[in-house]
Amino acid sequence: MTATGAPRAGVDRHTPLRFLRGVGPRRAEQLAEAGLATVDDLLFLLPRRYEDRREVLSPADVPGPGSHTVRGRLHELRLIRTRRRNFAIVRARVTDERGFLAVTWFNQPYLLQRFAEGEEVVLHGKVRMSEGALLELVNPSAERAGEPRVTGRVVPVYPSAGGLGSAAVARLMDQALPVLDSDPPPERLPDELLRRYSLPPLARALVDLHRPSGGVSLELLGRGESAAHHRLVYEELLELQLELALLRAREVRAEKRHRYRIDDRARAVAREVLPFRLTAAQKRAVREIVEDLRSPHPMLRLLQGDVGSGKTIVAALALLLAAESGLQGAFMAPTELLAEQHFGNLRRLLGARYRLALFTSSSADASARKALAAGDIDIAVGTHALVQGGLEFRSLALAIVDEQHRFGVEQRRLLQAKGERPDVLVMTATPIPRSLALTLYGDLELSVLDELPPGRTPVATEVRPASARRDVYRRLRDALAQGAQAYVVVPLIEESEEISAASLAEHGDRVRAFLADFPSEVLHGRLAAVERERVMRAFAEGRIRVLVATTVIEVGVDVPNASWMVIESAERFGLSQLHQLRGRVGRGERASRCVAIHGRLSESAARRLEIFASAADGFAVAEADLELRGPGDLLGTRQAGLPRLKVADLVAHRPWVERARADARELVGRLEEAPLAALAERVKSRLRDHHESFAGG
């Protein structure tokens, strides 16, 4: 398993990088800031790509454009000054007895001192066709033929780090790699898992990634799909899933004291309050929740469904089971208006049988608080006011959190603390691909509503260029004249010199003037919360016909009469965000329409809008968005404390996410076994680092 050479005396995995050649105190600080403090850290800095230098050609044998390695002698090495300040060109020819190849370097004048006329070199880089139909080697790497460091093999190309470029990082790596022979990192995965997936041991995987053998598949290496890559990907995902599994185990390890009465009477009451037949997806979700409620351990479940998929009725049935059992339930929403909407819906469904109360910063009175503490209120609906001090439950058994990502984990736990190990149901209308959901909400079981109730019709979606704007607004004016309500969405509050996009300041007044026959208002995030609530309430009640807004309406109230939406500068929005905005319309009996108006389109923006116009299903949209953008942007809604992944890619490595989650659930109860000791210690260390409360038990 030889890596390369022999280690410097005294260098091991724990050696600070400042003791390597070429690393002074300042550079060591910069590397540490980039997360590279020791040789061990450096060994886990993986190449970003690989170059195939196994075939070394004569200049005369270069077949055409592409990446090639060439050996020959440098001749006619000369510096060419340009009119651009601090920019120079070095030209030369690399020759042998059979022919020559032109060579050009940009802004590397030091090459004239490094190489002498006629010196034999090995060059690697891209060959292109230059003027005159001659082949030219552009900006190649260069080394003397007598001391080839990287010739004749697959060469890793490293990312820049700590102010060092790729070549300088590679030179540091040359000093670090011998440690893999003299002081290899201890194996952290048990043999049973390595055998299960035919994965190499850790030290072998690192050698294969930093010094690939001659027979390696360059395609698999380049895609990050080699066995060595999979070894590190799986370990990273398994540690993460074990971390989340331990968090879950901590929350559900003790038995809950409350018990639910789920019998024929409860089923009859549920059938009586249901206003319509449940979809198959709703029935499946209800069964999963009922199984959790019957369990002696607290429920921790995520209910995920697209806009209009019927999450509220599922939540209402869970609350009904709590109330039928003489227990209290809580339903927390992110805004007062949304809390009021849920309160109204739940009161219509359950108000004839159970006592409900609304708790927001402006609605809860002392008598309602007293009744809740005495157990005289069965279901409390509210905002974050539910988790504030001074509000007490007598027997909170079920806590439901709507739009989880608007709160964060800490507020969820504050609500849990209002009872003694209550069951928790988290809901989100933001469709999340399964592989991402298993990472975002890994400590929760997952229920998905992947179908819409009967009678809901898709929103007709159009994508139009800015030149069609006047026609769009004429059609909107006609729809308003027939009684519709409309949203007009813009990406900016004020004009920006850096961003070319519609703004409220510039566009809002023109829209409102064109639609002056209909009451309108402007809504954005800089308005005081009280003013935002006033405007949204007026729109919900129909007193405002046109709402010109930023994305503050992305998660909002249910306004059935709102049947038109115009999205300005649609190319500025992400695909999932466009879908969430579209979800504000199509909630009533009116045929609904969403028109996305765009300016100049990049290739990626054109693709986003094409998918937006053709896909109505939120999960299909979310999958496409994940493919287009990767998980980075979507992880903006991740749970507090969830670390970013260094090696694994949630798009490319979806099967490994599934395997890691299943294995973590299997292993979490066995972490005290000897073969799992190293893995267990790393996971518990991660928990102490990422979740301070875990350190205290």
CATH code for position 120: 2.40.50.140
CATH number of the domain enclosing 14: 1.10.150
Whole-prediction pTM: 0.70
Q: Please identify, among 449, 476, 504, the residue that sits at the C-terminal boundary of a domain.
A: 449
Q: With pLDDT > 70 as the criterion, what percentage of the chain qualifies?
A: 89
Q: Which residue has the higher pLDDT, 621 or 455?
A: 621
Q: Quick one: 317 and 202 in the same domain? A: no
Q: What is the pLDDT of residue 364?
A: 65
Query: Closest Cα to residue 54, out of 155, 157, 156, 153?
Result: 153
530 vs 438, higher pLDDT: 530
Q: Are residues 436 and 504 both part of a single domain?
A: no
- Does residue 234 form part of some domain? yes
- Which two three-digit tokens encode residue 182? 């003299």
Q: Mean pLDDT, to the nearest integer, of 673-682?
A: 88
Instruction: Give a yes or no: residue 135 inside a domain.
Output: yes
The answer to whether residues 283 and 317 belong to one domain is: yes
Radius of gyration over every alpha carbon of the chain, rounded to an integer in angstroms: 31
* Whether residues 282 and 426 fall in one domain: yes
Kindly report the CATH number assigned to the domain that includes residue 361. Answer: 3.40.50.300
Task: Please report the pLDDT score of residue 435 as a whole number.
Answer: 65
**pLDDT exceeds 80 at position 695:** no
Q: Are residues 10 and 44 located together in one domain of the fold?
A: yes
Q: Does residue 559 or residue 235 have the better pLDDT?
A: 235
For residue 392, is it within any domain? yes
In a domain, 632, yes or no: no
Say yes or no: 355 and 495 in one domain.
no
The domain in which residue 192 lies consists of: 188-253+656-697
DSSP state, residue 508: I
The answer to whether residue 241 is domain-embedded is: yes
Q: What is the 3-state secondary structure (H, E, C) of 260-280?
A: CCCCHHHHHHHHHHCCCCCCH
Backbone angles phi, psi at 355, to 5 degrees: -95, 120
Q: Is the pLDDT of residue 407 over 80?
A: no
Do 431 and 488 reside in the same domain of the chain? no
Tell me which of 615, 644, 665 is where a domain ends. 615
Q: In this structure, is residue 407 part of a structural domain? A: yes
Q: Are residues 327 and 231 in the same domain?
A: no
Greater model confidence, 160 or 249: 160
Longest CA–CA separation in the chain, Å: 99
Task: Report the domain count for the chain.
Answer: 5
Same domain for 470 and 587, yes or no, is yes
**Does 246 fall in a domain?**
yes
Chain Cα centroid distance, residue 500: 26
Co-location of 660 and 690 in the same domain:
yes
Give the pLDDT score at 499. Answer: 43
What is the residue whose two structure tokens read 């994965």?
Answer: 199
Q: Which of 424, 449, 474 is a domain's end point? A: 449
pLDDT score, position 143: 87
Lowest mean pLDDT among 224-228, 294-298, 497-501, 641-645: 497-501
What is residue 649's predicted lDDT score, i.e. its pLDDT? Answer: 80
pLDDT of residue 484 exceeding 80, the answer is: yes
Does 501 share its domain with 591? yes
For residues 409 and 178, the model is more confident at 178
In a domain, 631, yes or no: no
pLDDT exceeds 60 at position 604? yes
221 in the same domain as 360: no
Alpha carbons 623 and 437: distance in angstroms, whole number: 11
The arithmetic mean of pLDDT across residues 90-117, rounded, is 92
Integer angstrom CA distances of residue 24 from 18, 28, 162: 6, 6, 12
The identity of residue 520, as a single letter, is S
